[in-house]
Amino acid sequence: AANAALAQTPDASMIQLGSDIPAKWKAPEEAYNYVRREVMIPMRDGVKLHTVIMVPNGARELPMLLERTPYDADGFAQKGPLGLRDAVRSANREWVDDGYILVYQDIRGKYGSEGKYVMTRPPIGPLNSTKTDDTTDAWDTIDWLVKNVKEGNQRVGMIGSSYDGWTVTMALRDPHPALKVAAPESPMVDGWMGDDWFHYGAFRQVNLDYFSGQTSKTGKGSNVPRPGADDYQTFLDAGTAGNWAKQHGFDQLGFWNRLAAHPSYDAFWQLQAVDKMMTAKPSNVPTMWLQGLWDQEDMYGAITAWEALKAKGKAGNNHLVMGPWYHSQINRAAERLGPLKWNGDTAADFRRDVLIPFFNTYLKDRKPAEPLAPVMIFNAANKQWDKFADWPGTTQLTPLYLQADSGLAFQVAPAGEDSYVSDPAKPVPFLAPPVSFADHDRWTTWLLQDQRAVATRTDVLSYKTPVLTAPVTLQGAPMADIFAKTTGTDGDFVVKLIDVFPPFVAEQPEMGGYQLAISQDIFRGRYRQSFEHPTAIPAGVVQEYKFRLPTVNYVFKPGHRIMVQIQSSQFPLYDRNPQTFVPNIFFAKPEDFQKATISVQRGAAGASSVLLPVVPASTALK
Ligand code: PG9
């Protein structure tokens, strides 16, 4: 029988003439509840930007939610799922439920878009000699959208976190009339002062992988390969960030070269600081500035931009929201943050109950059920949102002074000092080694780790109050005000404001004695007199280091203690200060790295303190 089958003459249905791949394949679309359009939107200079538009079936007169991203628009709007809810990223599901057209665009020079990529492209002007920037690109995009998306209602809202939050801020510099509302989430606002690249001049080495990932290719580049699993050792062996960059071919990367040539707050940084641009031309678009209270990447931007607009009289339409979130957690599940647990998903609830109603007010003429408070800041001690008519709760700061014997009190201490040796060969780890920058869970929660991990080191000073018998409520930004001398000619100061939990916490035993930093930052000593013009620290002479710490809305409860920790490194997140003044720390030589004895002053010689925004009673709205 087998032989008989072989002998059979094949008929025409058995033979493929030509290719098995049709010249043009069209997948049936009936089963989808949306249409996915990919378009190339022309900008004023002819460059076309790749844009994905997700339109629900049957849409009529719907607003558009626009996100401009350097992180691959295709990835925000998958091709597979039949339902729009599943095709968009999870944070956008509530928007789909509410009835929105979702638009994702690759910014110039990234992924599917034409043109040249420039890192957080400065605005047209002294740093950008072309005729386009992310303000004109947003304008041209919105103009095209309102003219070409027939299912739209001629109104656009812009949203996005981090880099995508920065693209929102750039659109606000000269908003298209159809841009009716905006939400920059954890936007990068000032890369030198306190967002991604530096904090008060201390360089964040975690970004070295970002530079190669983002600027070695139009698509996604890779992280730099490592010689071992522990980034503490890797970066110690590299010596300086400059060395490390050189070893890994970074001299080919334009942005790294510009950043490394501008370690101080010169015109390069000042002319691209978004809050400064906002002050020059404040926007009237209703805007909700959002960020996390433990935002490990862009802690500085949202509140600073909100303050800049407020100072320009933009109060009515200018909202501030600080949630119990790590960086961009507003777009993820947020039932907890590190060891802290909340009642429900603080991000999803917020998106549904506050953010979307805010957008609907301007895009759908739908009033929110309750009027929106100008300021909403989560109180992590009480596990609740507090609403405020204004912020901060007080502009009066109360000094909490360092005392002898590791004490901390609201009275000035008698004169004295506490010394430690800061050794660049053994910097204080920002996370207990082994540490990997690629470990997402540890990276997103490092600001909340138990500071007992470093409290026993001899190069970390810890001061604490007695056990509190009454609550101490803070509503605003604390300031570190440290008087210190050093045997070196440069040096860093890290100051942490910490809530020390009671020794036993019955409802969560792992929190017994926990040292939770509620606000912390680093300051590079050479910038104590000027961010633009660094100066050597005179060895052995007391100097003042005064800098603002991240904003808090917090209650130290009875039974807890307030703690302040001071140290001179947080490695490998921040590059090491050689403690010898050199023109550019990126290119310090091995011999520049020297031990230094730091003597922190108390009392008459310099009353070191942390200035606290203490309020006698909460100013939150009832
Ligand atoms: N924090 C990231 C970033 C923002 C802006 C510039 C560079 C990096 C981000 O999450 O997008």
Mean pLDDT by 10 residues, the chain (622 residues): 64 87 88 96 98 97 98 92 94 95 98 98 98 98 98 98 98 98 98 98 97 95 91 98 97 98 98 95 96 98 97 93 98 97 97 97 94 96 98 97 98 96 98 97 98 97 98 98 98 98 97 98 98 97 98 98 98 98 98 98 93 96 92
Report whether residue 188 contacts ligand 1, using a CB cutoff of 6 Å: yes
Q: Are strands 179-185 and 152-161 parallel, antiparallel or unpaired?
A: parallel
Q: Which of 379, 380, 329, 338 is nearest to 510 (CA)?
A: 338
Q: For residue 432, how far is its CA from the centre of ligand 1 (angstroms)?
A: 24
Of all protein residues, the one whose alpha carbon is nearest to atom 10 of ligand 1 is 162
Q: Which atom of ligand 1 is nearest to the CA of 327?
A: 10
Of all protein residues, the one whose alpha carbon is nearest to atom 3 of ligand 1 is 163
Phi first, then psi: give them for residue 441, nearest 5 degrees: -65, -45
| Residues forming beta bridges with residue 322, ordered by sequence position | 291, 377
CB 593 within 8 A of CB 426: no
The Cα 261–Cα 263 span in angstroms is 6
Model pLDDT, residue 5 = 59
The Cα 593–Cα 204 span in angstroms is 18
Q: CA neighbours within 13 Å on the CB side: how many for 568?
A: 30
Q: Where are the alpha helices (DSSP H) in 57-133?
A: 73-76, 84-87, 93-98
Distances (CA, A) of 517 to 227, 286, 446, 566: 32, 33, 10, 12
Both structure tokens of 528? 């104590």
Q: Are strands 101-106 and 62-69 parallel, antiparallel or unpaired?
A: parallel
Q: For residue 106, how far is its CA from the centre of ligand 1 (angstroms)?
A: 15
Report whether residue 329 contacts ligand 1, using a CB cutoff of 6 Å: no
The Cα 569–Cα 426 span in angstroms is 9
The Cα 603–Cα 609 span in angstroms is 10
Q: Which of 204, 194, 189, 157 is nearest to 176 (CA)?
A: 157
Q: For residue 468, how far is its CA from the centre of ligand 1 (angstroms)?
A: 39
Residue 384: Cβ within 10 Å count: 13
Phi first, then psi: give them for residue 64, nearest 5 degrees: -110, 135
Report whether residue 196 contacts ligand 1, using a CB cutoff of 6 Å: yes
Q: Where are the alpha helices (DSSP H) in 8-162?
A: 73-76, 84-87, 93-98, 134-148
Q: Which atom of ligand 1 is nearest to the CA of 166?
A: 5
Report whether residue 163 contacts ligand 1, using a CB cutoff of 6 Å: yes
Report whether residue 297 contacts ligand 1, using a CB cutoff of 6 Å: yes
What is the Cα Rg of the chain in Å? Answer: 27
Model pLDDT, residue 203 = 98
Q: For residue 88, how far is its CA from the centre of ligand 1 (angstroms)?
A: 21
Q: Which of 156, 250, 202, 279 is nearest to 495 (CA)?
A: 202
Report whether residue 166 contacts ligand 1, using a CB cutoff of 6 Å: yes
Model pLDDT, residue 6 = 64
Q: For residue 210, how far is its CA from the centre of ligand 1 (angstroms)?
A: 8
Which residue's structure tokens are 């000699």? Answer: 129
Model pLDDT, residue 3 = 57
Q: For residue 525, how far is its CA from the centre of ligand 1 (angstroms)?
A: 26
The Cα 140–Cα 245 span in angstroms is 37
